Amino acid sequence: AVVVLRENAAGVTPDGLIAHVKERIAPFKVPKQVVFVDELPRNQSGKLLKRELRATL
């Protein structure tokens, strides 16, 4: 999963986020990997660039 953290989310770690999610959703929905980014890549019209997101994983 690629995650953009809010400004007030200091101290959040990938392992901590996965542990939090495991308590709340079905096991098959829990991401195997979490990557934090500053912003999601978008094209000029504002659409999400999924290829670039996949490249970060």
How confident is the model over 20-50, as pLDDT tens digits?
999 999 999 999 999 999 999 999 999 999 9
Q: Which pLDDT value is given to residue 49? A: 95
Whether pLDDT at 8 is above 90: no
Top-level class of domain 2-56: alpha beta
Give the count of beta carbons closer than 10 Å to the beta carbon of residue 22.
12
Whether pLDDT at 10 is above 90: no
Please compute Rg for the chain using Cα positions: 13
Question: What residues contact 21, with CB distance under 8 A and at least 6 apart?
Answer: 29, 30, 31
Q: State the pLDDT confidence band at 57, using cuts at 50, 70 and 90.
A: confident
Q: Which pLDDT value is given to residue 27? A: 96
Q: How many angstroms separate the first and last alpha carbons of the chain?
A: 8
